[in-house]
Amino acid sequence: MACRISELVLGCRDPEVLTTFWCEVLDFVVLDRMHDGSTEIGPREGFGGPQPTIIISRRDEPEPGKTRLHIDVNATDRDQDAELERLLKLGARPADIGQTGDENWHVLADPEGNVFCLLNARLNPL
């Protein structure tokens, strides 16, 4: 028996901004809103399916230390260049984490500076 990732938690100052951004990026919907302003977003079929949900949790101050986890995404219905253009229009921005420029992925940051990568391969939608 093994575990499976069911939720990812992303701390931020403004959950509404990241909720909107990540729902657009992943074609997710808001599944729950908590009393502290945090949200849970996920696929339209809800919690427990093949994709993990994301809890976007209000944090007034960043947690100490550099985050060692980041999200990688793949386009499902367009090529990488078209998806990059879409993500930039949604508010992502290029991020420099020391890449050489020869990578076949793009390093980006969401509106609060959380780094994520747009990979090259196109995946089939779930």
CATH number at residue 100: 3.10.180.10
Classify burial at 88, counting beta carbons within 10 Å of its beta carbon; exposed 0-12, middle 13-18, buried 19 or more: middle
Backbone angles phi and psi of 111, in degrees to 5: -60, -20
One domain, residues 47 and 76: no
How many independent structural domains does the chain possess? 2
| 79 CB-near residues (< 8 Å, 6+ apart) | 122
Domain span including residue 124: 70-126
- pLDDT of 40-63, one tens digit each? 999 999 888 889 999 999 888 766
One domain, residues 117 and 76: yes
Q: Is residue 65 part of a domain?
A: no
Asked if 15 and 21 count as a contact pair (C-beta separation under 8 A), the reply is no
- pLDDT of 73-121, one tens digit each? 999 999 999 999 999 999 999 999 899 989 999 999 999 999 999 999 9
pLDDT for position 23: 98
For the chain, the C-alpha Rg in angstroms (whole number) is 15
Give the pTM. Answer: 0.86
- State mean pLDDT over 13-28: 95
Asked if 118 and 75 count as a contact pair (C-beta separation under 8 A), the reply is yes
pLDDT for position 65: 65
Q: Is the torsion defined by CA of 107, 98, 15, 30 positive or negative?
A: positive
Q: In this structure, what DSSP letter does residue 67 have?
A: -
| Gap between the Cα atoms of 126 and 55, Å rounded | 20
